[in-house]
């Protein structure tokens, strides 16, 4: 059995002593508690979850969202997909082009509905990381035409409502990028005009700087519901506190989900309010459900990255969340600092929360040591925590209570792995293909004469979040395992006659994903209309060989790459076009496919085999 994270949840208790910690509501209450949340996106962090067998997938969703069960999350924040790389992959936009509007793409709609199914009271929060290029009319900025950007975002909120019966409670501006005051005011205006007065604006999902502008601009202050800061280190700025507005840590945690990560999360949940008066804390990310060795691959509240066998792990941060979320609801109130919120004499913190009827009290204590609860954002000198006995004195409404309930947690429960690999049913229109993890560009399933295929949809430079990825202007989709070495990869492709790409590629031993996707190395076989190119990088800056090859856009062709040791064989339409040596390094990496430039391309009949099966 593993040990408690140093936290106790105490319900309706009364201790008395000479020097107690006092819990007293007789002089009033502190700020309203706004909930604990998880973030799906930023990006593609829930990619593999949707591919899990139904039984295990339902269990995972229960651990995340079911009240009084696991994490019991009270807020689900999702990325408003923008066809851009946003950390671990790209998420599809609801409008690839200005004439295109589709609310079936991606998995965030599904995830929000599953969360609501388990907890109808969960709050939903949408935030863009980037935008299709057309939104900025080629300027590279969403603020070039603020009315158009507001329209784009509100259409997503409207699609959630009209197509999926989902109410979006909160919306952000642009993740961790400069904000624009005119845009924020315009967004509020468009929300109101289209019947979404209830959707509140959180700004600016970066640092506390916007608070300075809100102090000088009453209209801006009025349209922003809460100031949302990322990774505040449990501290809010003097300007933010002076506002008198709701303060959130709208993205936090970002930590390996071992016991140290669980302790970090426990410490953050308490100290964000004790030190910073933040009433909501949202974890990046909700679940580590993306390939190993993509950025932050083990930083979710729990881990589910093996859909092919159903294995998942319920990690310590789930139980750290539960100490607060299973004993509170949004709308509860913190007690006042010094009367139920504060620091313990020998280190650690405590918070008291009461329900709206003022007849339930929850106390959460944490005594995390510095070494066992390090968080990635810690910049301060180590702090000291020592063993201590704490006496609680309940005053005010709680004066006559004499019963104490203490909740302990056992860490380290694993979801039982399944030994089967089931054949997947055909994907629905507009969904991403199974197991393919798009890193640049946007790929979705389309149908033609009842046959399904995958199309890459991005045709122009985006408004990116990761410029080093999207800036190469090549679509790039990885799959498999980064330890793969000797494999063959083949598929059929078609370049449409209109808005088509300049070529396609197949790759093995691809080394990079996320925001550094543009610098990936590997063995890349590009098929262009008038030649082939063999390169050791995505950018085609290190070309090994070029040769004759031709095809006409509009027709289907096949392409194949086999690598073994330091040899490679390239085939086009079942004919070998090159067989020879390649560098032995990198020795392993993902399989990949994609396009030589942004533009339409169709893919079908993907096959991956070990070289042993080929020879």
- Rounded Cα distance, 297 and 460, in Å: 29
Distances (CA, A) of 335 to 23, 30, 277, 281: 8, 5, 12, 18
496 C-beta neighbours (distance < 10 Å), count: 14
The alpha carbon of 197 is separated from its chain's Cα centroid by a whole number of angstroms, namely 26
- Rounded Cα distance, 481 and 308, in Å: 12
Long-range contacts of 348-355 (CB under 8 A, 24+ apart): 348/6, 348/385, 348/388, 349/267, 349/270, 349/271, 349/274, 350/21, 350/270, 350/274, 350/390, 351/270, 351/273, 351/274, 352/23, 353/33, 353/324, 353/327, 353/328, 354/25, 354/29, 355/328, 355/329, 355/331
415 close to 64: Cβ distance less than 8 angstroms: no
- Rounded Cα distance, 590 and 610, in Å: 13
Contacts of 258 (CB under 8 A, 6+ apart): 298, 315, 316
403 C-beta neighbours (distance < 10 Å), count: 8
| Terminal Cα-to-Cα distance of the chain (whole angstroms) | 49
Place of tokens 């109130």: 333
Which pair of structure tokens corresponds to residue 555?
């027709």
Distances (CA, A) of 336 to 246, 359, 487, 488, 508: 15, 16, 62, 64, 59
Alpha helix (H) residue ranges in 66-143: 108-118
Active site residues per annotation: 176, 251
């Amino acid at each position: 059995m593993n040990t408690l994270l140093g936290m106790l949840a105490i319900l309706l208790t009364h201790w008395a002593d000479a020097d107690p910690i006092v819990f007293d509501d007789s002089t009033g209450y502190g700020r309203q508690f706004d909930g604990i949340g998880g973030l799906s996106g930023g990006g593609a962090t829930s990619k593999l979850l949707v591919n899990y067998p139904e039984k295990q997938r339902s269990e995972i969703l229960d651990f995340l969202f079911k009240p009084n069960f696991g994490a019991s999350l009270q807020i689900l924040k999702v990325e408003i997909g923008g066809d851009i790389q946003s950390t671990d992959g790209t998420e599809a936009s609801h409008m690839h082009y200005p004439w295109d509007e589709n609310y079936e793409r991606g998995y965030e709609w599904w995830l929000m509905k599953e969360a609501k199914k388990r907890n109808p009271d969960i709050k939903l929060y949408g935030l863009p990381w980037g935008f299709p290029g057309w939104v900025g009319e080629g300027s590279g900025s969403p603020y070039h035409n603020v009315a158009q950007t507001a329209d784009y975002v509100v259409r997503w909120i409207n699609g959630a409502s009209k197509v999926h019966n989902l109410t979006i409670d909160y919306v952000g501006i642009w993740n961790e990028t400069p904000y624009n005051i005119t845009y924020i005011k315009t967004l509020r205006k468009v929300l109101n005009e289209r019947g979404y007065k209830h959707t509140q604006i959180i700004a600016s999902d970066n640092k506390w700087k916007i608070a300075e502008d809100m102090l000088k601009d009453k209209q801006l202050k009025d349209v922003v519901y809460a100031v949302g800061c990322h990774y505040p280190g449990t501290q809010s700025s003097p300007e933010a506190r002076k506002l008198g507005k709701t303060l959130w840590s709208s993205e936090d945690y970002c930590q390996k989900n071992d016991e140290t990560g669980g302790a970090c999360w426990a410490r953050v949940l308490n100290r964000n309010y004790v030190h910073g008066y933040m009433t909501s804390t949202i974890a990046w990310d909700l679940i580590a459900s993306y390939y190993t060795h993509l950025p932050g691959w083990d930083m979710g509240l729990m881990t589910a990255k093996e859909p092919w066998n159903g294995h998942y792990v319920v990690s310590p941060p789930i139980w750290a969340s539960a100490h607060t979320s299973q004993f509170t609801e949004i709308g509860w109130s913190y007690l006042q600092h010094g009367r139920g919120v504060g620091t313990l004499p020998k280190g650690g913190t405590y918070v008291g929360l009461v329900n709206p009827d003022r007849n339930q009290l929850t106390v959460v204590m944490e005594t995390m040591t510095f070494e066992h609860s390090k968080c990635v954002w810690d910049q301060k000198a180590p702090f000291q925590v020592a063993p201590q006995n704490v006496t609680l004195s309940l005053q005010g409404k709680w004066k006559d209570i004499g019963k104490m309930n203490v909740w302990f947690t056992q860490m380290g429960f694993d979801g039982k792995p399944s030994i089967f690999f089931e054949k997947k049913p055909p994907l629905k229109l507009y969904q991403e293909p199974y197991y393919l993890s798009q890193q640049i560009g946007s790929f979705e399933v389309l149908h033609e004469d009842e046959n399904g295929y995958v199309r890459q949809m991005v045709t122009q430079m985006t408004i990116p979040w990761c410029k080093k990825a999207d800036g190469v202007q090549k679509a790039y989709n990885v799959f498999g395992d980064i330890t793969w070495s000797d494999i063959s990869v083949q598929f059929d492709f078609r370049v449409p006659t209109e808005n088509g790409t300049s070529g396609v590629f197949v790759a093995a031993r691809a080394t990079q994903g996320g925001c550094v996707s543009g610098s990936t190395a590997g063995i890349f076989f590009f098929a262009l209309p008038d030649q082939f190119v063999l390169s050791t990088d995505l950018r085609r800056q290190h070309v090994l060989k070029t040769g004759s090859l031709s095809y006409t856009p509009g027709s289907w062709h096949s392409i194949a790459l086999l690598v073994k040791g330091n040899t490679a064989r390239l085939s086009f339409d079942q004919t070998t076009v090159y067989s020879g040596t390649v560098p032995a390094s990198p020795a392993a990496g993902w399989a990949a496919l994609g396009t030589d430039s942004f533009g339409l391309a169709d893919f079908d009949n993907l096959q991956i085999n070990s070289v042993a099966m080929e020879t």
